[in-house]
Chain A
Amino acid sequence: GENVEQHPSTLSVQEGDSAVIKCTYSDSASNYFPWYKQELGKGPQLIIDIRSNVGEKKDQRIAVTLNKTAKHFSLHITETQPEDSAVYFCAASIGANNLFFGTGTRLTVIP
């Protein structure tokens, strides 16, 4: 099955700096890549997703890039704010099949 690796496991940045979280996947047939944010005491929430026919997608301060050749995708958060502090998960799937999740990155934004 699919194997998704995520790095780093923890990340601390100063408020206003950028944060980048990277994931790699093993199955070249994977074509859907969502990112989830999990705040303390809550379930994961979808923040952005990308499909394999697109190389980059942006939503305000959040962007995701996909490199199909290298089989990796990244989450970029610009102008970080304290409320961005959370655990972030990447995931991959083939079409409507089940998602395979990375192990998570705990992001801390230092005011």
Chain B
Amino acid sequence: DVKVTQSSRYLVKRTGEKVFLECVQDMDHENMFWYRQDPGLGLRLIYFSYDVKMKEKGDIPEGYSVSREKKERFSLILESASTNQTSMYLCASRKFGEKLFFGSGTQLSVL
């Protein structure tokens, strides 16, 4: 089975802190994605990466950046956390053109 592992299940940070969310997949998938999930808004794409060292903006990239130094790892960075970034963050991966697999999510609270 594909495993997409997110490093933290719950995270509490303060406004202005730099926050790192880590995601690792074990199936040699080229594509990796970061979504945020908010009630009533569904899943919105923040950033994605087609392969190592590559990154593309999704629909809501403002306030976020990403890093993909190794194929199996995709990091989401909140440069200066704000309260409106309190959300559930979901990482996903896939082989190009194939099915998408999600991690269990990180519930981030910014106080």
Contact = CB atoms under 8 A, between A and B. Distances in A.
A9 interface: yes
Contact of B96 (A42, A43, A49, A96): A96
A99 B35 CA distance: 11
A99 B59 CA distance: 11
B43 interface: yes
A98 B45 contact: yes
Interface in B11-52: 33, 35, 40-45, 48
Interface string A1-37: 1000010010000000000000000000000001010
A101 B102 CA distance: 14
B104 interface: yes
Nearest to A97: B97
Interface string B99-111: 1111111000000
Closest 10 CB pairs of A and B: A43-B102, A96-B97, A103-B42, A101-B43, A101-B42, A43-B104, A44-B102, A43-B103, A43-B105, A104-B42
Contacts of A9: 40
Given A43-B105, A44-B90, A49 B42 contact: no
A110 interface: no
29 contacts: A1-B59, A34-B99, A34-B100, A41-B104, A42-B104, A43-B4, A43-B90, A43-B102, A43-B104, A43-B105, A44-B90, A44-B102, A46-B99, A46-B100, A49-B99, A89-B42, A89-B43, A98-B33, A98-B45, A98-B48, A98-B58, A99-B100, A101-B35, A101-B42, A101-B43, A101-B44, A102-B42, A103-B41, A104-B42
A95 interface: yes
